[in-house]
Copies of this chain bind each other. A is one copy, B any other.
Amino acid sequence: MSGVEIVPLAGIPEIRPGDDLARLVGDALERAGGLAGGDVIVIAQKAVSKAEGRVAQTDDTVGLILREAQAVRRRRGDLVIAETEHGFVCASAGVDRSNSPGDGWAVLLPRDPDASARELRDELGARFGAAPAVIVSDSFGRAWRQGTTDVAIGVAGLSPLLDLRGTPDARGRVLGSTQIAVADELAGAAELVLGKASGVPAARIRGYRVPPGEGSARALVMPPERDLFP
């Protein structure tokens, strides 16, 4: 059966600044049966940010959001839709008070989520002998749809876009313009076993053949000249 299997990596404690995230994820992977070639590890941004000390204590959440934002796209009451320094467009420029280290604390996005993904990939590769593709995921809202879905904000060891341009469809007709954001679909698939309230920050996906590449989540950012909703 050529299926895809997603398992939660359980037993990872609450992450604190300076924690060795790769060791904790590796220990959880061992409990889940280890790594195989082609596996994808999805890790929640919040765990990465906490390990990297990307947390802030403030009474002024809006001020913090505006500091983190490169540009504010829309604002309505407490809701700020902002572009981050990475180019991502999301609520509150990624600043999040839920699952933070404590009252008055907020978690910020990693400075370089691709580098975070690469580091985890390299360290897990060294430990297990097979380097997994790694995705750092976060929950983003969407322009015209209710609810969040998890998407990739950092990637390593895969191309985040599967490019079908030029390949034939099932009838042999060449597909004109299809690029599939598989890194976002993988992040969303992993969210199904993570869960906001469960304290499980990582998942292993097995059985999906990732598009090869070194990878960067920056490739998922719509370039300004193609952005119809600035």
Interface size class of A (residues with CB under 8 A): 35 or more
Contact of A145 among B173, B176, B222, B228 (CB under 8 A): B222
- Interface of A, secondary structure class, is loop
Q: What is the bound-complex CA distance between A36 and B223, given in angstroms?
A: 44
- Cβ of A170 under 8 Å from chain B: yes
Q: What is the bound-complex CA distance between A143 and B52, given in angstroms?
A: 30
Chain B residues positioned under 8 Å from A88 (CB to CB): 144
CB distance from A27 to the nearest CB of B (A): 16
Contact of A146 among B148, B173, B179 (CB under 8 A): B179
Given A143-B143, A144-B89, verify A149-B192 contact (CB < 8 Å). no
Closest 4 CB pairs of A and B: A147-B181, A189-B189, A185-B188, A3-B7
Q: A89-B143, A147-B162, A148-B178 known; 9 other A-B pairs, CB under 8 Å?
A: A3-B7, A98-B178, A145-B151, A145-B181, A146-B222, A147-B182, A149-B180, A164-B197, A186-B192
